Amino acid sequence: MLVLFDLDGTIIDSKTTILKCLNILLEKYNTSYSMDELRPLIGKPLEEIIKRKVGSEKLAKELRMKYREIYVKNYLDGTKIHDGVEELLMELRKRKIKTGIITSKLGDVARSFLKDLKISRLFDVIVGEDDSEMKPSPAPVIHACKILKEKPENCVIVGDSEDDIIAGKNAGAKTIAVLWGYRNRKQLENVNPDYVVESVGQLKNALFVLSDIEKEPEAKREYIERLEKTRKGKFIRVEDFAKRL
């Protein structure tokens, strides 16, 4: 099994850093973002976020690289790994479950960033916006699967935004939406993820259940049937599903 995580909002809490860097960039144009404005946009293409404030698509393209220069100088300020996530990644490694990142950041920036956070060793692949089409296209999921020689149907996408879930579903992967990021339950349930989890503990339970299903499909027929019901939009609480193993 391969588990592909979104980065911002799912693995790390970077909203304060992103807000700071954007407003440094936008200061020259006498505009800025508030946190309430920015939060629902995190995970969208950077160019789109900038264009909303400067109006011009051409200028947004020009400012995209300037933003990245600012971000590289400031990305560790205020950014933290969500509680319990590093421990979860280590547990997945112990179980020999492959892991990766699909992000709207440039690949080299993401790799450098994760190295500085001392968790790059916990990922088998990192796919950035310059490696394939961006989410919600299924391309980054398919690209990561090809690199690691995994089938998309044996892949689980974990993310906090609609684009994460849509990308996973379009690739034929299983999808888990997390509620500790930048979207609320209603927004995420509107795109019909297979699961919605409220905590890292629930995510761990869900991933271990799915891993066990993959290893022992005949012994876990009941859980496969329940998973298929969930895929059709009938949401099951993950903790109840996991406790019945």
Cite the active site residues: 6
d(Cα 24, Cα 229) in Å, to the nearest integer? 47
How many secondary structure helices (H) and strands (E) does the chain include? 12, 8
SS3 126: strand
Residue 158 β-bridge partners = 5, 176
DSSP 138: S
Q: Which helix (H) or strand (E) holds 3?
A: strand 2-5
Rounded to the nearest 10°, the torsion over CA 87, 88, 94, 97 is -150
Beta strands (DSSP E) in 150-243 are 155-159, 174-178, 195-197
d(Cα 169, Cα 115) in Å, to the nearest integer? 29
